[in-house]
Copies of this chain bind each other. A is one copy, B any other.
Amino acid sequence: MMVEPDEASLTGALEDYIETVYELVRDHKVARVRDIARARKVRSASVTPAMRRLADLGLVRYVQREYIDLTPEGERFARRVYARHQILVRFLQHVLGMPEGAAVQDACAMEHSLSPVAMDHLVRFFEFLGYCPEGSSFLERFHACPMIRNEDGRCTADCPARRDAPAGPEDWAVRLDSVSPECRVRIVQVEASGALRDRILDMGILPDVHGAVLRGGPGSDRFTLRVQGFDIELSPEEANAVLIVPVEEGS
Q: Is A26 an interface residue (CB 8 A)?
A: yes
Q: B-contacting residues of A (Cβ < 8 Å)?
A: 26, 75-76, 79-80, 82-83, 86-87, 90, 92, 95-99, 102, 105-106, 109-110, 113-128, 130-135, 138, 141-142, 145, 147-148, 153, 155, 159, 161-162, 164-165, 169, 173, 188-190, 193, 197-198, 201-204, 206-209, 228-230, 232
Residue pair A102, B82 in contact (C-beta under 8 Å)? no
- A173 CA to B132 CA, complexed, in Å: 12
Residue pair A117, B134 in contact (C-beta under 8 Å)? no
Extra A-B contacts (15), CB below 8 Å, given A102-B118, A127-B147, A134-B138: A26-B229, A76-B203, A83-B201, A83-B204, A96-B121, A98-B121, A110-B114, A119-B201, A120-B201, A123-B201, A126-B207, A128-B145, A131-B188, A133-B164, A135-B142
Residue pair B83, A126 in contact (C-beta under 8 Å)? no
Query: How many monomers of this protein are in the complex?
Result: 2
**Out of B106, B147, B197, which one reaches A118, CB within 8 Å?**
B106
Report the 6 A-B pairs with minimum CB-CB distance, sorted nearest first: A109-B113, A134-B161, A96-B121, A80-B202, A133-B165, A126-B207
Evaluate whether A204 and B121 lie within 8 angstroms (CB atoms) in the complex, with A161-B133, A188-B127 already known: no
Chain B residues with CB under 8 Å of A110's CB are: 110, 113-114
Residue pair A198, B120 in contact (C-beta under 8 Å)? yes
